[in-house]
Amino acid sequence: MPLRALALSLLFALPAPAPAPAAEAPPPTSPALSAPDAATAEFLAAVEPLITSAERAAYLALTRSYQRQAFERRFWEVRDPFPETPRNELQERFRERLRLARERFPSPTDERFRLTLLLGEPIRRVPLRCAELLQTGEIWFFAATGRIPHGFTLVFVSGGVSAGAPHRLWSPRSGYQELLLWQIPPTGDVAAELAERIPRDCPRGEEILGGLAAASDWSELEREYEVIPRPNPEWVRTFLAYSTDLPQGAPPLTAEVEIHFPGRNQSRTIVDASVIVDAKSLRGDGAGSAPPDAGRELPPALGLLLDGEVLRGDELFDHFRYRFELSAERLRAATTLPFSARRFLRPGSYTLVLRLQDPASGRVFRRELALEVPPPGSLAPQLSLAAAALASPPGTTGTAATAAIEVAGAAAGTAGPAGAAITATSAITAIEPSLRLLAPTDQLTIGRVRVEADVRGVVPARVDFALDGKPLLSKRRPPFSIEFDLGRSPRFRRLSAAAFDRAGELVAADEVLLNGGPHRFALRLTEPQRTPGTGKPLEARAEVDLPEGEVLDRVEFYLNETRLATLYQPPYAVSLTAPAIDGLTYLRAVAFLAGGGAAEDVRVLGANSDGEAVEVDFVELYASALDKRGRPVTDLAAGDFRILEDGSEQVVRRFENFDRKTDRMEAGNREDVQPPETVDLLPIHAGVMIDTSASMIEELADAEVAAHRFFREVLTPVDRAAVITFADAPRLAVRFTNKLDVLAGGLAGLQAEGETRFHDSLAFALHYFSGVRGKRALILLTDGDDSESRFRFEEVLEYARRTGVTIYAIGLNVPSKPVEAGVHLDQLARETGGRSFRIRRANELASVYETIRQELRSQYLLAYQSSRIDGSTGFREITLEVLRPGVSVRTLSGYYP
């Protein structure tokens, strides 16, 4: 039998496919939903290969065009393959493919249309034309795609003789008979007979025969390589949770709306929208409720959600969510309760939609308002609007009574269509005072530097500058700038500026951390600058510095340790009511990253006479415990460790480790130790720093392979890694990422050339790590020699102590002279809690990287609150001891507070 006949006979011999599982049935459609319009139908048809049934149902459930537009934007955002870039590569590629598919295959039911959307153009097409033998069709040949790593072939047939009819995919599992125009009785040699006829009777028969033999089953390819991106379905539930629609059958919450324009923020007008709730309605004893039960217990606290949307025309301009915590005591005592949101809007016409919901009882208030925002610098009157007191009728999802806010020519007492009263009050003339330091915070800075304080909204009598808490200069006229010397050593420096009015009152302030690195995560409370009187409005505002590539999840505001409000979108500003100051009282704001991690700031509103301070910072130590053979020891408890700071024993407040044998967490035996977490699963930020100077010319290939293997084995979805190379100068080859293909690209094709500026490059790498929290490891591969660096080793070592980054130093063929080369590598590792290795060839790196990987995954976390309260800023030496015989432990040698 010829080879082509053998190939086809094997192809035809495949068993018939099992019946395909039934398609997932969409959830029943509510009769209240609006019918899909042309734009909706067009979107659904275009994304049919990508959209899930849950996404389709959620999309169809939306009742407003702006909601569907917002859904479409989010639909593409969650599928962005590289969200750290400004482009959405998948969406751009899909749009181009959609244009191409519409040009060539007018019917979306044609499976060539769908496969063009998913795969793009094949590298070659062969028409399936064979009169009186085969159905009309096409054979598409593909090279490797982004997800499928090898070439493949797909076969389409029309089901008839017309080439213009919609085509369907043919699967080799369904057998050769489905390609024939006429069914023929099966015979023992049908495969061989057809294999002979196709080359003889069909144009381009040899190509057709080869394509059929190589045909792939698309369903298997799709399943094996996950060709269709499937984002986490949680995004749909989150999107719907932010809706401002009124749930069907929701009991009403009695409230009214007030809008105020208290001033401006730069070029925008400050808009405060407050929902004033009748406390009786919130307690459930208002009008329309069951008779109150005097003995009924209220929950200890209520969490109310205020969702809002700002529409400009038919488009969603802004959306926001606030969560307010309300104690039972306050709810019992109150008559009305305000829940406010602050936005910064440019002048113009908007529609504001507000929905306040008590998730515990299901009560909801919803109001939709036409909003006219005045220019921030105009003399137009500040307006206040009180909207209708009742929510929309239960069961409706459309527009409630609409109240218009007219600015120009508004007269006091004018009534709006919803019974709203518009009243003129004070003019909008004030700009919110602000001060911002324009400092080079994203680069390593030494020597002389000039920094300007950008002051707006106020003409200060003076601006005071301070460095690390020590006064530098006071300027009494603009420009409010300062030039000062940071010295030649790289180190963290904290610069602050404060603006004062003629009465000596503080009106605005700012603070920046110099040399803090691009990954600094910090929060600053910029308001209040002073404490208002009891019962007066307390304006709280926070500014957040986000690490590179991270996403902020929320900002929470606390009064002492009672949470008052949670904000999910900027601006992070909220209006509270000033409390009665009785002893220590402080406002606290905490920012949380979506991927984990928190930063906070505290503003003391009142203190005890003894000057009691608020101290919330912990010293965190990541420690590696090893037995006599250098293997990680993973079963130690908190009581097995002893921490000394400058010789004084410290109390362990937090302890975490992971017992691999039992796959469970082991807690320490101290009662005051916080519950442990899985350190093994804490995110790791690892950087591989490779010497690419001329002396590495014979080792780079092996170094690339070993580094890539390390990344492949150590990275989990929550980890991040970076690649830094250095010779004459440092180069950030790959920023922090968890994408192996990006890391591999940064390692590929390294060239060995130039001198070795080791000290300067190490300072660059440490600066890049600065601000990263948690486990951090810099893995350094070099011969230890340095030529031409501007930084001395002692200066870089001091900087390493300040950053707290663990350094694993791998010396490759370290020369015996100068002897300092090897000594410096050992000292870097020892001082930072890492480890030093010596190897002769780069092919030994694999075992070294494996040792480092095991160590990183088996570290302990110990945290303590320093017993020193003298405010000293010098280096504090740490000694960590382990009480189990035969076990040694390593951690950083100390820290700067």
What is the helix (H) or strand (E) element at residue 510, kind and residue range? strand 506-514
Structure tokens that stand for 164 in this block: 């213009």
pLDDT band of 273, cuts 50, 70, 90: very high
Return the pLDDT at 409.
Answer: 27
**What are the pLDDT digits (tens) for 697-749?**
888 888 888 888 888 888 887 788 999 998 888 888 888 888 888 888 888 87
What Rg do the C-alpha atoms of the chain give, in angstroms? 34
- Mean pLDDT of the region 57-63: 90
Residue 212 clears pLDDT 60, i.e. is over it: yes
Query: What's the CA gap between 139 and 147, in Å, rounded?
Result: 21
Mean pLDDT of the chain: 78
Reply yes or no on whether the pLDDT at 186 is more than 80.
Answer: no
* Whether the predicted pLDDT of 424 surpasses 70: no
Q: Is the pLDDT of residue 51 over 80?
A: yes
| pLDDT level of residue 355 (50, 70, 90 thresholds) | very high
Q: How large is the average pLDDT for residues 230-242? A: 86
Most confident of 6-20, 170-184, 403-417: 170-184
Q: Which residues contact 769 (CB under 8 A, 6 or more apart)?
A: 517, 519, 685, 687, 776, 778, 803, 805
Which pLDDT band holds residue 83 (cuts at 50, 70, 90)?
A: confident
Average pLDDT rounded to a whole number, residues 285-293: 46
Rounded to whole angstroms, how far apart are CA atoms 273 and 310?
11
Considering only 336-340, 391-395, 691-695, which range has the smallest mean pLDDT? 391-395
In this prediction, residues 683-694 reach a mean pLDDT of 87
Q: What does the pLDDT read at residue 286?
A: 52
pLDDT value for 276: 92
pLDDT tens by residue, 824-836: 899 999 999 999 9
Tokens standing for 95? Answer: 């749009």
pLDDT in tens, 327-338: 888 888 888 888
Indicate if the pLDDT at residue 523 is higher than 60. Answer: yes
Question: What residues are paired with 352 via a beta bridge?
Answer: 310, 369
770 or 665, which is more confident?
A: 770
The CA-based dihedral angle spanning residues 832, 837, 841, 843, taken in that order and rounded to the nearest 10 degrees: -80
**389 or 559, which is more confident?**
559
10-14, 289-293, 561-565, 848-852: segment of lowest average pLDDT: 10-14
**In Å, how far are 42, 128, 136, 204, 879 from 161, measured between CA atoms?**
30, 11, 5, 18, 84
Residues 834 and 809 sit within 8 Å (Cβ to Cβ): yes
Average pLDDT for 69-75: 92
Per-residue confidence at 416, pLDDT binned at 50, 70, 90? very low
For residues 391 and 841, which has the higher predicted lDDT (pLDDT)? 841
pLDDT digits (tens, 9 = 90+) for 437-488: 888 776 788 888 899 999 887 889 999 999 988 899 999 988 898 998 888 7
Tokens 């395909």 locate to 20
Q: Which pLDDT does position 113 carry in this prediction?
A: 92
Average of per-residue pLDDT across 538-557: 84
Q: Is the peptide bond before 21 cis (omega within 30 degrees of 0)?
A: no
Range 370-374 average pLDDT: 92
SS3 700: helix
Q: How far is it, in rounded angstroms, from Cα 823 to Cα 836?
A: 10
Spatial separation of the C-alpha atoms in residues 124 and 104, rounded to whole Å: 15
With a CB cutoff of 8 Å and minimum separation 6, the contacts of 223 are none
Q: How confident is the model at residue 663 (pLDDT cuts 50, 70, 90)?
A: very low
Residue 515 confidence class, pLDDT cut points 50, 70, 90: confident
Q: What is the pLDDT of residues 787-813, one digit of tens each?
A: 778 888 998 998 898 888 999 999 887
Which pLDDT band, with edges at 50, 70 and 90, does 618 fall under? confident
Q: Token pair for residue 268?
A: 């925008």
Q: Which of 710, 655, 706 is nearest to 859 (CA)?
A: 655
More confident residue, 516 or 890: 890
Q: What percent of the chain has pLDDT over 90?
A: 22
Q: Identify any residues that bridge with 511 across adjacent strands, giving them in sequence order.
A: 496
Tokens of 792: 């001395």
Q: Mean pLDDT throughout 857-875? A: 83
Supply the pLDDT for residue 382. 41
pLDDT at 718: 75
Q: What is the pLDDT of residues 567-614, one digit of tens each?
A: 998 889 887 777 776 766 788 888 888 866 677 788 877 654 444 444
Choice among 385-394, 412-421, 879-888 with the minimum mean pLDDT: 412-421
Q: How confident is the model at residue 162 (pLDDT cuts 50, 70, 90)?
A: low
- Residue 35's pLDDT is 52
- The confidence band for 354, taking pLDDT boundaries of 50, 70 and 90, is very high
pLDDT over 90 (residue 368) = yes
- Peptide linkage before 2 cis (omega within 30 of 0): no
- In percent, how much of the chain has pLDDT > 70? 80
pLDDT at 153 over 70: yes
pLDDT at 468: 87
Quote the tokens at residue 462.
Answer: 């003076």
The continuous run of DSSP H or E covering 195 comes out as: helix 190-201
Greater pLDDT, 261 or 517: 261
d(CA 485, CA 514): 12
The model's confidence at residue 112, banded by pLDDT at 50, 70 and 90, is very high
The helix (run of H) or strand (run of E) holding residue 100 is: helix 89-104
Furthest-apart CA atoms within the chain: distance in Å: 106
- Looking at beta carbons, which pairs linking 602-611 to residues 24 or more positions away fall under 8 Å? 602/525, 603/525, 603/528, 605/528, 605/531, 605/578, 605/579, 605/581, 606/531, 606/581, 606/582, 607/583, 608/583, 608/584
